[in-house]
Structure 1
Amino acid sequence: MNTSTLLVRSLTWEADGVLSVTLTSPDVSALPRWSPGAHIDLIPGGAPTRQYSLCGDPADRLRWRVAVLRADPSRGGSAHVHDSLRPGSLVRYAGPRNNFPLVQADRYLFVAGGIGITPLLPMVHAVAAAGAPWRLLYGGRTRASMAFLAELARYGEHVTVRPQDEHGPLDLDAALAEAREIPGADGPVTVYCCGPEPLLTAMEERVPGLHLERFSPLAPPATAEPGAFDVVLQRSGVTLHVPADRSVLSVLEEGGVPVPSSCLEGVCGSCETAVIEGEVEHRDSVLTQAERDAGKTMFPCVSRCRSPRLILDR
């Protein structure tokens, strides 16, 4: 994994428990380009690598912004950001990568839960600037816990804010029914969602073709069996055996075939590998069901193979 260094320029409390971090290159040179939905890996020394959505302005090549909710309990990443990063701190990063791109559409419904607003925020700004019809439904535990409310206030009735302590759980059925009445276009509504797993699951049940992003890995399929198989690396001319208790990624790396990787949980997308042949047992949290059914790509950090042989384009 190729990494570079960022400098922490400033930190801002955006809500209870949510800290935004403004980052630049140490010499204030231009940062890599990114598009709405992209994330970076932050690699703080002594703490786990974590993925954070870029939630600033893609046109600003000098500054990046991420927002970090302090998890309770924290696995180490958010606690390090909150407790250790200060203006002037240096931190390694990889990316940006985009597994959650904004597609061209006639009209949009965005549904955010809590810190799930972060990848959707630049999408909202982009579609509003383009003049596309859209609505945002934004829920959280309390109003005080919901980040970027002031930034979203400029959009008026396009944004519906629903803190749970004031309104109860989000009424997803009502939001989807209202979205079909968004004026200005006759095409279907394209729906984007990010937030906690119960929200994502509920939206998946309601919206075929939902665009979503997860912050944590899905549980392995209940039918998953950790069988052994051989992996053939077509370009390298190497065949390796993957035991039941080893990941494909670890076997490849041990066999001298380096693969970019970061989260090791099937979330970040950095180890994506093209599949030439084999029945993949997908265990990632990135691919859509259609992409899984196509079987053209996999994430070797978590996914496996049901057939005796897996051929990869490596």
Structure 2
Amino acid sequence: MPKPLTVAVLAGTALLVRRAMRRRIRTSPLWPMPALEEPVSGRPRSRALRVLVASREEVAEGVVRLRLEGRDLPGWEPGAHLDLVLPSGLVRQYSLCGDPEDGSSYTVAIRLVADGRGGSREVHEQVREGMELEVRGPRNRFPLVAAPSYVFVAGGIGITPVLPMLRALGEGVEWRLLYCGRDRASMPFLEEVEKLGGDRVSVVEGVPDLDGLLADVPEGAAVYCCGPEGLMAAVAERFPHVQLERFTPRASTGGAFEVELRRSGRTLTVPADSTVLAAVRAELPDTAYSCEQGFCGTCQQRVLEGEVEHRDELLTDAERADSMLICVSRARSDRLVLDM
């Protein structure tokens, strides 16, 4: 088994990271960057940006890449993702996999999930070149941190947030990548990754032998993983301090509890197999929501009483002190009181 990892110190402000990435750090005296305070997670932008689908290309079996052009697009760093508002109004999150230096466009890649919730199917069947879409963000909850070395594990479409990181690190930084997928034809950007990393890249078709492939991870290395939930859980079991990127919610089921809506004067029961959002919308159907996955923040509500089991992937610790995303989070106590 690999040696225990130390927690990688977060790289300072976005400005320092951007400058370092632009220089493509190649000499060890400049790496790692100085440790500064952890940047506060970005909140969803209230202003939706209009973008044009400038190109649409199939880059692997079941994977399309969209290049979205626009004006005055906010900058981003490797690991960031974008909220894409689909024609139906669905909001889905996709990692940015293009060039952070390109201020005129964003690039995302989307795999078709046949038995999913409909977002990827809508992209594949309805989004075409020349269409206008709305985007929100970008936001980054998967930042590239300063560390003496890096280990990346990507499963299929999980390569998308990792790819800009590999480009940014350059040749002078020690890193390696385990890239696994069903088969080579289904693995997007495989040719670029192999060309970029050479013998630092291990490609596995099928289920990887994690114990064998990750047996000699250096102490202090920063470990990143993005891919299917099973792969991320297996990597997290071996490396407790792994950085994970999720685009599917953790299960929102649990024990039943009560929710009081203080301003409405109503008390609801949230069943074990349902969500606070579903219970609230049964009484207040105009309650705003969007992604239903704990990513976008639309359903955030203020908590007046009770202990929350937070299952979102968005709120900061400070925000969690008095609010929750009711689409996925639940109660640790028998009762919650919301300011609704």
2:227 counterpart residue number: 195
User: Match for 2:139: what amino acid?
Assistant: R
Question: Does the aligned pair in 1 maintain the 2:257–2:335 contact within 8 Å?
Answer: no
2:187 counterpart residue number: 146
1:23 counterpart residue number: 68
Question: Does the aligned pair in 2 maintain the 1:41–1:262 contact within 8 Å?
Answer: no
2:325 counterpart residue number: 299
Question: Does the aligned pair in 1 maintain the 2:113–2:120 contact within 8 Å?
Answer: yes
CA shift for structure 1 position 275:
6.8
CA shift for structure 1 position 116:
0.7
CA deviation digits over 1:77-127, x for unaligned, max 9?
Answer: 222222222221111222212222222222111100011111111122222
Q: 1:272 to 1:105 in 2, by over 3 A?
A: farther
1:172 counterpart residue number: 210
Question: Does the aligned pair in 2 maintain the 1:242–1:248 contact within 8 Å?
Answer: no
Structure with more contact order per residue of length (Cα contacts < 8 Å, sep ≥ 6): 2
Structure 1, unpaired ranges of 5+: 181-186, 233-237
Taking the aligned partners of 1:228 and 1:114, their CA distance within structure 2 comes to 40
User: Match for 2:247: what amino acid?
Assistant: F
1:226 to 2:261 alignment: no
Taking the aligned partners of 2:230 and 2:279, their CA distance within structure 1 comes to 31
Question: Does the aligned pair in 2 maintain the 1:248–1:303 contact within 8 Å?
Answer: no
CA shift for structure 1 position 188:
0.7
Taking the aligned partners of 1:108 and 1:98, their CA distance within structure 2 comes to 18
CA deviation digits over 1:31-78, x for unaligned, max 9?
Answer: 111122211121122263211111111111111100011112343222
1:117 counterpart residue number: 159
Taking the aligned partners of 1:160 and 1:179, their CA distance within structure 2 comes to 14
User: Match for 1:247: what amino acid?
Assistant: V
Taking the aligned partners of 1:190 and 1:163, their CA distance within structure 2 comes to 24
2:133 counterpart residue number: 91
The counterpart of 1:263, out of the listed 288, 291, 306, is 291
Taking the aligned partners of 1:170 and 1:157, their CA distance within structure 2 comes to 17
CA deviation digits over 1:248-292, x for unaligned, max 9?
Answer: 69859x98x987x5312224456567878642123335689xx79
Question: Does the aligned pair in 1 maintain the 2:176–2:197 contact within 8 Å?
Answer: no
Secondary structure of the corresponding residue to residue 269 of structure 2: coil
1:6 counterpart residue number: 51
1:106 to 2:148 alignment: yes
Stretch deviating more after TM superposition (12-21 or 136-145): 12-21
Q: 1:102 to 1:298 in 2, by over 3 A?
A: farther
CA shift for structure 1 position 176:
2.3
Taking the aligned partners of 1:210 and 1:3, their CA distance within structure 2 comes to 32
Question: Does the aligned pair in 2 maintain the 1:218–1:285 contact within 8 Å?
Answer: no
The counterpart of 1:64, out of the listed 85, 106, 127, is 106
CA shift for structure 1 position 156:
0.8
The counterpart of 1:247, out of the listed 262, 273, 276, is 276
Taking the aligned partners of 1:15 and 1:271, their CA distance within structure 2 comes to 35
Taking the aligned partners of 1:311 and 1:132, their CA distance within structure 2 comes to 50
Normalising by the residue count of structure 2, what TM-score does the alignment of the two structures yield? Answer: 0.73
Question: Does the aligned pair in 1 maintain the 2:53–2:69 contact within 8 Å?
Answer: yes
Structure 2, unpaired ranges of 5+: 1-45
User: Match for 1:148: what amino acid?
Assistant: F
Q: 1:206 to 1:269 in 2, by over 3 A?
A: farther
CA shift for structure 1 position 226:
2.8
User: Match for 1:145: what amino acid?
Assistant: S
CA deviation digits over 1:226-249, x for unaligned, max 9?
Answer: 3113477xxxxx687562246269
Taking the aligned partners of 1:267 and 1:312, their CA distance within structure 2 comes to 20
